[in-house]
Structure 1
Amino acid sequence: MRPYDFTPFARSAIGFDRLFDLLNAGTRESAEGYPPYDIIRTGEDSFRISLAVAGFKASDITVTTQQNLLTVAGRKAEAKNGVDYIYHGISAAPFERCFNLADYIEVSSARFENGLLQIDLARRIPQAMKPRRIEIGSAEAVDNGRTAKAA
């Protein structure tokens, strides 16, 4: 896919530049699609990313998060063990896979099991941002309070 030019929209939309960058980033997705991954909803506010990283050890993979961006990178150490491969189908190529995270999505854990890297994510909205119910008082209660103080 080709990237779109959002310049006409950007001229009149202030503060939406990150949104336009995200839309264009979707078109720059790696063509090779390595490593393959699944994104699973595990609860109302929790998710899991599973990356198939066969041939890599946990020490070969780094998971970093920074300002709404999760980056998973893998680089295998050069092994000079004298193995003569006839066919080498298990990839050992270095990779970097980036995931854009919505606001308030945090990485809660990461684990490596059976050739899959499991990254658990959770949406943690700050208490100040959650909806809260405001009690509505009556005008009589306010008037009674004033008259009681004045008397």
Structure 2
Amino acid sequence: MTVRNFSLIPSLSDALFSDRFNRMDRLFSQLTGDTPVAATPAYDIRRVDKDRYALAVSVPGWKGSELSIETVGGQLTISGKREEQKETESAENGWLHRGISRADFRLSYTVPEHVKVTGAKLQDGILAVDLYQEIPESEKPRRIPITHGQQAIESQQAIEHQSA
């Protein structure tokens, strides 16, 4: 399994060296038996409103039964494991080229505290995961009133008067 750090802002050097990197990655993957980095599915993260987010993962050709979503200790993990396929099936169906990734994958995201997965839907090769951030009232920011001038003096006198 390969761990991949996702860059939010691609730099110019990424574009210049991406082909060389992909070739080296495939070479090392063949030697080690790991899945190439390019085999991990593409994804989008979008803020829907103040408290809701949407994660979309591109999983063309995957069935719902082959995908799994877990949350454990602040980690959201999405994984795909292909069901066993008969070796003769692909040869009999006349495939000339199979470019759609068939490799098992595992994506892991760190989610902020109080974020919960509220649902997931697989449609048209996109796994849509709904996230909701619910901050408890005790942790929400609150305003503390500030007294001005005479009010502060009156409150001090009342405290002094009570202690005498």
Tell me the TM-score normalized by structure 2. Answer: 0.64
- 1:44-65 C-alpha deviation (Å, 9 max, x unpaired): 2221110010111111100001
3-state DSSP of counterpart to 2:138:
helix
The AA in structure 1 aligned to 2:128 is Q
1:79 and 1:90, CA in 2 relative to 1: closer, same or farther beyond 3 A?
same
Q: Look up the match of 2:154.
A: 140
Superposition map of 1:1-150 within 5 A:
26=5, 31-32=37-38, 34-80=40-86, 82-83=89-90, 84=92, 85-136=95-146, 138-141=152-155, 143-144=157-158
- 1:40-84 C-alpha deviation (Å, 9 max, x unpaired): 111122211100101111111000011211100001101227333
Question: 2-side partners of 1:94 and 1:71: how far apart?
Answer: 13
Question: 1-side partners of 2:40 and 2:102: how far apart?
Answer: 11
Backbone CA RMSD of aligned residues: 2.7
3-state DSSP of counterpart to 1:98:
strand
Question: 1-side partners of 2:138 and 2:41: how far apart?
Answer: 38
| Cα distance, 1:145 vs structure 2 | 7.8
Bigger proportion of residues as helix: 2
3-state DSSP of counterpart to 1:112:
strand
Gap regions ≥5 residues in structure 2? 7-35
Question: 1-side partners of 2:104 and 2:37: how far apart?
Answer: 15
The AA in structure 2 aligned to 1:131 is P
The AA in structure 2 aligned to 1:110 is A
3-state DSSP of counterpart to 1:50:
strand
1:96 and 1:82, CA in 2 relative to 1: closer, same or farther beyond 3 A?
same
| Cα distance, 1:103 vs structure 2 | 2.3
Q: Look up the match of 2:12.
A: none
Number of residue equivalences: 125
| Cα distance, 1:95 vs structure 2 | 0.4
Question: 2-side partners of 1:97 and 1:139: how far apart?
Answer: 60
